Structure 1
Amino acid sequence: MELSSEDCLHDPVGQLPPEISSEIFILCLDDYPDLQAQSCPTLLLTVCRAWAAVALATPALWRRMRVAARYAGRTPFQERIMHAWFQRAGTSPLSLCLEGSWTRENTEIVREYATRIEELETKFTISSPLTVLIREGELPALKTLKLWGGFSTNEAVEVLRTLPHLVECTFDALRFRTPFDGAAPLVHFNMQHFHVGGVGDILQGINMPNLATLSLSTQFVALAQLVSFLRRSTPPLRDVLLGWHELGAPVVAMQAQLVNECCSLLPMLQTLEVIVDRINALSILTVLADSAHLVPNLCTLTVRLHDWSPTAAVVEFYEQLLAVVLARRSTLRKIRVFHAEAGSTDSSPVQTVIGTLQVLDGLDVRVEDGKTRDSTDSDTDPDASVEY
């Protein structure tokens, strides 16, 4: 309901300079606001004339949107709303999250504004009309891409080839073990943040010499392929998440030589997170403890153990973790350990080692297992948000 004239006189937002009100309105938005009238920013137009004037004069309010195509054909009403938002955004770059049934017909409005799209998140196959826009090079301004769909390694490499200006890219579900059959890896000079779920052989098909963040999460990572990628690319990686976790597969112990070489190729690394079994976690911790000159800038270490271990093995893990901390006291500032199994840390010997870690000056330590994680509010605990 629109505010009365008397209410508007006492509206604290209405007393602010328009540029401050604009910033407040922007902070009210979701990452990708819906087009519905009951959601911001459209809702702001219904409060009072002063709020509506500020909202319409703030292009940044209208540059991001989530659109669900509910019908295979064109939907004039939805297109009119999209046109209105695009026009209110002025010349601002666009950020779109596109869901639903996008066909050749209802993709035309996206094509019309394609040169202004800077961020795109969508879930489709390689042959869908929206993906065709990408493959045909019709998104020249695109810098951030999140694709949720079953792409093969070669299809993913071709997407990267058509988008040389990408700075951040996420492939959520590459198909497993699809070999790269290109003559030579693609060199992508602008990529700084690369996130992949379902790795396959994607690392064989790319070089990224300016990469700062690499996330290969929740699926099996071939360590030899990772080492080869690091050798070829020599990226200045600062943040790495690696998943050595394949459901139902037997544990394959990492070769110590490869672990050493991998660490030697990460001289600028500051944050390391691994999803791993206990045996390979010990291999990683041993290298970090015995070779403190490798990964010399490491300040945050997170280990997510996805398998069950007897008490003696858990004690061994924490003793090795303590050795890492003692070897890296000058740089290591944060330790996070998550156990998939409830009660993994209940025994007295385990608690003794954890207690030693927690009293060290300058070190922030958090340990959780399935039991403590169930009682944690993930909305207030960002470290508890990753699932096994």
Structure 2
Amino acid sequence: MTLRKTETEMSVADLEARIAKLSVEIDVQKDVLKKLEQDKVLAQRQLNTMRDPVARLPFEISSEIFVQSLAPFPKPGASHVPMLLLNICNGWSAIALSTPTLWAAMHIASPCSEGIEELLLVWIEPARNRPLSILLDGCLDESAAAIVWRHGRLLNHLEIDPDGFSDYTRINLFGDVTPGPLPLLETLTIRNSNWDTAPEFSGPQVLELLRLTPNLDECILDGIHPVCDLEAIAEVHAIPNLRRLMFGAHGRCPDSDDDLLRYLTLPALQTLHLSMRYGSADDLFSFLQRSSPPLQDLVIGEAWGPIDLVRLHECLTLMPSLTRFELWGGSHVFVPDFLSALTDSTLLLNLRSLILHLDAHNITDSFWMTLLRALSARRTQLQMVNIGLTDLKPSRKPAGSLLDEFRGLVADGMQINITADKSNLMHD
């Protein structure tokens, strides 16, 4: 009878053979385990899909939900949409990467963090050459400017907020890069959101930006003052398609240096918000005469001083299409002259809205009479009149008989609001 060899009696060759056999069996079991893990992942995905309401929706709806969760200028990083969506599940990642709109906007903070250029290239790839929207804020270092202008041909919306500078620091919008044409740019906003500082902006650089944008529709310069080196500009720039030029944010008194208007011809302009802090009625007249724009909305932000009535009449004559006029802080000289001009039925035939923000210190009894005459002359044209007064003393309120006259215009269909300290005199 042959006895089985004990392990101590096994030869080296026998042990090596056994180890090889065990290794093969282990590899087989690893393959089995790997297959089981893959099957589990697949089953889990299928279960997630059945439970996930987004995954059950048509792609177009899921994609639109993701787009609605997007900030106007999303920040790069794993904790922000759209990159956050890549870390939820494979289904969400596939939807996000197949939605170019998610990747067509970006917030670039300056100075740039390390690796931002590589990240931007990865970010833009899923955008598939979609027009880009970029917010560039901070100290505007050279690398940040280079990133923006390198993709200038795809820029559709550009907002620049050079925060972090002290007073009278000269802002370099371009860095060391010379921007090329910006054929897709439709909106350009340059703002100084730090009201405690007044950095200087280069007039030639701002005008060069405008010159590179043949399809620009809207330009907002908010809190931009002073604008320097305008004396170095030798020519007037024509921007053929610009429809909205605002020297300040919408809904506020314009606050930017509007001397740039002297160097622009804007034949398509419909909306113009001026501070008049630096310019004059002569500058406005020259611009209107040069551009002949179809102006519809005019906002003037600073008090005009005394101006020649003939020149005022000429300015109004050059705005026949104007439908809305808004004045902030008009002087006690200009406002009565303007209201008196409105009694001329040949001027501003299309004016529908009149908005005045006035300091009540300049209000007199003659003002209320002049206002009444102007509105009465326009009773068939004007639809809405808002008069906002600050620091109105009881002695400067219109007499009751005058208020009755205003209410008579309201009865004829004109909407009139005369507000002071949150109260409407028309309702008293």
TM-score class normalised by the smaller sequence: 0.7 to 0.9
Q: CA deviation at 1:36?
A: 4.3
Q: Are 1:177 and 1:201, in contact at CA under 8 Å, matched by a contact in 2?
A: no
Alignment counterpart, residue 287 of structure 1, candidates 341, 352, 376? 341
What is the one-letter code of the residue matched to 1:330?
Answer: T
Query: Percent identity, aligned pairs only?
Result: 29
**TM-score after normalising by structure 1:** 0.77
Q: CA deviation at 1:266?
A: 0.7
Q: Are 2:354 and 1:296 equivalent residues in the alignment? A: no
Q: CA deviation at 1:43?
A: 4.1
Q: Are 1:145 and 1:170, in contact at CA under 8 Å, matched by a contact in 2?
A: yes
Q: Are 2:181 and 2:212, in contact at CA under 8 Å, matched by a contact in 1?
A: no
Q: Are 2:223 and 1:185 equivalent residues in the alignment? A: no
Q: What is aligned with 1:195?
A: 246
Q: Are 1:211 and 1:235, in contact at CA under 8 Å, matched by a contact in 2?
A: yes
The structure whose Rg is larger is 2
Q: CA deviation at 1:361?
A: 4.8
Q: Are 1:153 and 1:174, in contact at CA under 8 Å, matched by a contact in 2?
A: no
Rounded to whole Å, the distance in 1 between the matches of 2:75 and 2:232 is: 41
Alignment counterpart, residue 188 of structure 2, candidates 106, 120, 145? 145
Q: Are 2:320 and 1:267 equivalent residues in the alignment? A: yes
Rounded to whole Å, the distance in 2 between the matches of 1:45 and 1:364 is: 53
The 3 A distance-change label for structure 1 pair 201 and 6 is same
The 3 A distance-change label for structure 1 pair 34 and 286 is farther
Rounded to whole Å, the distance in 1 between the matches of 2:179 and 2:57 is: 46
- Which segment is superposed worse, 150-159 or 188-197? 150-159
Rounded to whole Å, the distance in 2 between the matches of 1:357 and 1:93 is: 53
The 3 A distance-change label for structure 1 pair 367 and 39 is farther
Q: What is aligned with 1:128?
A: 172
What is the SS of the residue equivalent to 2:135?
strand
Stretches of structure 2 lacking an aligned partner (at least 5 in a row): 1-44, 163-168, 192-198, 248-254, 424-428
The 3 A distance-change label for structure 1 pair 348 and 268 is closer
Q: CA deviation at 1:194?
A: 1.5
Q: CA deviation at 1:105?
A: 3.5
Q: Are 1:13 and 1:21, in contact at CA under 8 Å, matched by a contact in 2?
A: yes
The 3 A distance-change label for structure 1 pair 129 and 264 is closer
Q: Are 2:334 and 1:309 equivalent residues in the alignment? A: no
Q: Indicate the RMSD between aligned Cα atoms, in angstroms.
A: 3.6
Q: What is aligned with 1:20?
A: 61
The 3 A distance-change label for structure 1 pair 141 and 332 is same
Q: Are 2:279 and 1:226 equivalent residues in the alignment? A: no
What is the one-letter code of the residue matched to 1:75?
Answer: E
**TM-score after normalising by structure 2:** 0.71
Q: What is aligned with 1:255?
A: 308
Q: What is aligned with 1:242?
A: 300
Q: Are 2:207 and 2:237, in contact at CA under 8 Å, matched by a contact in 1?
A: yes
Give aligned pairs, total. 357
Q: What is aligned with 1:384?
A: none
Q: What do the CA deviations read for 1:112-164 (whole angstroms, capped 9, x no partner)?
A: 4232112211134876363654x542534333222236325444334333434
What is the one-letter code of the residue matched to 1:128?
Answer: N
Rounded to whole Å, the distance in 2 between the matches of 1:321 and 1:8 is: 68
Rounded to whole Å, the distance in 2 between the matches of 1:98 and 1:147 is: 10
